[in-house]
Structure 1
């Protein structure tokens, strides 16, 4: 594996990913005793297995799920009672982060591969601070590197080290493997136990019929958080005249002054966004689409603030 020098916005190193721990306080990704993350609220009903722990029994209130009624207490007291659950501490959190040739690109603040690495590091440090077990899978066009979930700083550092090394080895001449994401999802299904929380950081263009099927199967036994990554040029072409593209001897020339071409390109980008939204709605999981155009922590903070329930006046 060839390791190239770190370049801001183009490549990351381990030190930069470790420094992301100082930014965890800027965004409330996970619940605390005094503050509940809106991410948990978005999919609390889908927590299953050891993802939730029994908390207490209280008198049934209007709007409670009838499936949680405690019939023994109800029969004993002659008054409906319901069980309350809380999110289990130390739940396994598994970060799946793509570092492939198609992510080695960016016209915004950073390359998509850097955005993925930064977001994975931030989530990893937040999970460790939440007392969860952290692990993950770094996958690219050629290799997969897995770290089993453990409640250990060393486990997170192992994941970040592998992530940094894979990121630094990226280059534009890599042979793209369009099945890499699907293979990574199959691996996650093999090793993860029910109730795990799976964070998926991948290229927006990675959603195909095969990967959608794999995500649907994975969602049946784990909880998902989807973070597809995109760049402004994935969604719109500039009116810049003739643009030439080449890849391993193949060449393509586009006339971007052609308004029909630009509209067709924009429509493809909109269709990809809509497909992710439909999938998230079908699975009932949170979707946080990230762009290279805006700083990563700012995007997460804005999203969570938009989702946080407002306090009654």
Structure 2
């Protein structure tokens, strides 16, 4: 691999992704003995026992999943009891991260491709510290690279190295496979065992009928966390006058002073966001959209704080 000159925010380097291990303590992604991550438990209930271990039995409380009622204890005590579960240790964590030409763009702090790489590295180091097996799949315009989950630093470094290679090779004129995301999801379904936790980092625009179907099928046997990536310019056009766009010889001119055009553009973005929200609700999985506008750690910390159950007054 030929390493390109350092371009902070535009391209990532292996050293930068390795340094992300020092930021793991800044945000609690996975549970620790004294603290429970709010991501855990949001999406295990529909297939109890998948990715979780039995912990204890306690008296049933309002809001508990009726499917977890322990009928033997209930019959013996004549009072409803429910089973409690805790997160399984050393579960396979599979990080799917996109590095395609549509991510090679950014008007915020970093390019979307760099944000995806940083998030993948942070989650990978957090999983390794949590004693889980880490692997993943880096997919781009015309190829993908798969790393089998292992509980070793070498496996994570192999994933990060592949991620950097793909990132360094990005350019705006790449020929893309329109169904690259769907193909990557099909491959994940083939290799992942039930109970795996799948982290999906992809462009917000990657969700199509095909990929939505593949995500629904994948969610039947694994647990998902969805992190679609976007840039402020994906959601709103500035009133900047005439803008010229060129791609592989084709040219397009837009008059961004046209308020109808800007509204139509904004409506498309809102429809994409709504589609992700509907899918996450249907599958019962966490949705954590990331933007290049804000710092990664702050975004994740905000999401996890919002998800954390409130203590009763």
Q: TM-score, normalised by structure 2?
A: 0.95
Q: 2:54 is paired with a residue of what secondary structure?
A: strand
- Report if the CA contact (8 A) 1:242-1:254 is conserved: yes
Q: 1:205 is paired with a residue of what secondary structure?
A: helix
**CA displacement, residues 36-85 of structure 1 (integer Å, 9 cap, x when unaligned):** 11111432424545401112233444443333233334444555443222
Q: 1:72 is paired with a residue of what secondary structure?
A: helix
- Equivalent position of 1:174 in the other structure: 174
Residue 225 (1) aligns with residue 225 (2): yes
CA distance in 2, matches of 1:149, 1:48: 23
CA distance in 2, matches of 1:53, 1:254: 56
CA distance in 2, matches of 1:235, 1:141: 23
CA distance in 2, matches of 1:79, 1:244: 70
- Equivalent position of 2:7 in the other structure: 7
- Equivalent position of 1:35 in the other structure: 35
Q: How far is 1:128 from its partner?
A: 0.7
**CA displacement, residues 102-129 of structure 1 (integer Å, 9 cap, x when unaligned):** 0000111100000000000000011111
Residue 101 (1) aligns with residue 101 (2): yes
CA distance in 2, matches of 1:307, 1:76: 36
Unaligned runs of 5+ in 1: none
Q: 1:93 is paired with a residue of what secondary structure?
A: strand
CA distance in 1, matches of 2:64, 2:208: 38
- Equivalent position of 1:57 in the other structure: 57
Residue 122 (1) aligns with residue 128 (2): no
Unaligned runs of 5+ in 2: none
- Report if the CA contact (8 A) 1:96-1:138 is conserved: yes
Q: How far is 1:2 from its partner?
A: 5.3
* Larger mean Cα displacement after TM superposition, 173-182 or 54-63: 54-63
- Equivalent position of 2:251 in the other structure: 251
Q: 1:35 is paired with a residue of what secondary structure?
A: coil
**CA displacement, residues 168-192 of structure 1 (integer Å, 9 cap, x when unaligned):** 1111121122111000000000011
- Report if the CA contact (8 A) 1:21-1:125 is conserved: yes
What value does the CA root-mean-square deviation take over the aligned residues? 1.6
Distance 1:309 1:212, change over 3 A: same
Question: Number of residue pairs matched?
Answer: 313
Matches within 5 A, 1:267-278: 267-278=267-278
Matches within 5 A, 1:165-244: 165-244=165-244
- Equivalent position of 1:281 in the other structure: 281
- Report if the CA contact (8 A) 1:230-1:290 is conserved: yes
CA distance in 1, matches of 2:266, 2:58: 53
CA distance in 2, matches of 1:178, 1:240: 30
- Equivalent position of 2:91 in the other structure: 91
Q: TM-score, normalised by structure 1?
A: 0.95
CA distance in 2, matches of 1:103, 1:115: 9
The runs of 4+ residues in structure 1 deviating greater than 6 Å are none
CA distance in 1, matches of 2:22, 2:74: 48
Q: How far is 1:310 from its partner?
A: 2.9
- Report if the CA contact (8 A) 1:49-1:194 is conserved: no
CA distance in 2, matches of 1:198, 1:239: 39
CA distance in 1, matches of 2:275, 2:107: 23
Q: How far is 1:309 from its partner?
A: 2.4
- Equivalent position of 1:296 in the other structure: 296
Q: 1:39 is paired with a residue of what secondary structure?
A: coil
Q: How far is 1:136 from its partner?
A: 0.3
Distance 1:169 1:3, change over 3 A: farther
Q: How far is 1:284 from its partner?
A: 0.7
- Equivalent position of 2:72 in the other structure: 72
